[in-house]
Amino acid sequence: MRPEDLETQPAPIADDQTLDPLTITQSGAMVFNRLRVAQLQGPTEVLARNAFSEVVVETLHLGQNSGPFDAHHPYAEQSFVVLEGVGSLVLEDGEIELHAGDVGVVHAGTKRQFVGKGEGIFRVLHVYSPTTQSVEF
């Protein structure tokens, strides 16, 4: 698909809808339209999951958090990219302020929590590998 073929004003995606990939190649790669990702409205949307990884977009508002602080993924590395807004990553030894464009990795077993801090939304793309089929508290 060519860039000029992309929809420029996508309709909002409701909480109960899933985001279909823009492209699925024969080799199994999936590509998502960045404009449609920006329209996600649910707090957590799973974009893709297989036996090896999971791609999730999380949208938080001021004061909202990603869940209990003591939740952690004992076997999954969590890479993330801040897509928009301002927030923080709370860890056992401190808090890191995050802004759009920041990229990081949370190692398996690390207790962590993402928190929306700024006006507007704080949107983060998470990639878990292997997939996060288990969460421990």
Query: For the chain (length 137 residues), average pLDDT per consecutive 10?
Result: 40 44 53 58 74 87 86 85 94 93 92 91 91 54
Q: Please report the pLDDT score of residue 7 as a whole number.
A: 42
In DSSP terms, 87 is beta-bridged to 98, 116
The alpha carbons of the chain give a radius of gyration, in whole angstroms, of 15
In-domain check, residue 113: yes
In-domain check, residue 134: no
Name residue 134's amino acid.
S
* pTM of the predicted structure, to 2 decimals: 0.70
* Encoded tokens for 27: 């080799």
* Encoded tokens for 35: 């404009």
* Encoded tokens for 114: 């993402």
Domain of 101, CATH number, reads: 2.60.120.10
In-domain check, residue 81: yes
How many Cβ atoms sit within 10 Å of the Cβ of residue 117? 18
In DSSP terms, 123 is beta-bridged to 59, 84
In-domain check, residue 108: yes
Cβ partners under 8 Å of residue 16, min gap 6: none
* Encoded tokens for 135: 């969460």
CA 42, CA 16: separation in Å to the nearest integer? Answer: 8
Number of domains in the chain: 1
In-domain check, residue 29: yes
What range does the domain containing 97 cover? Answer: 3-129
Q: Please report the pLDDT score of residue 29 as a whole number.
A: 60
In-domain check, residue 51: yes
In-domain check, residue 137: no
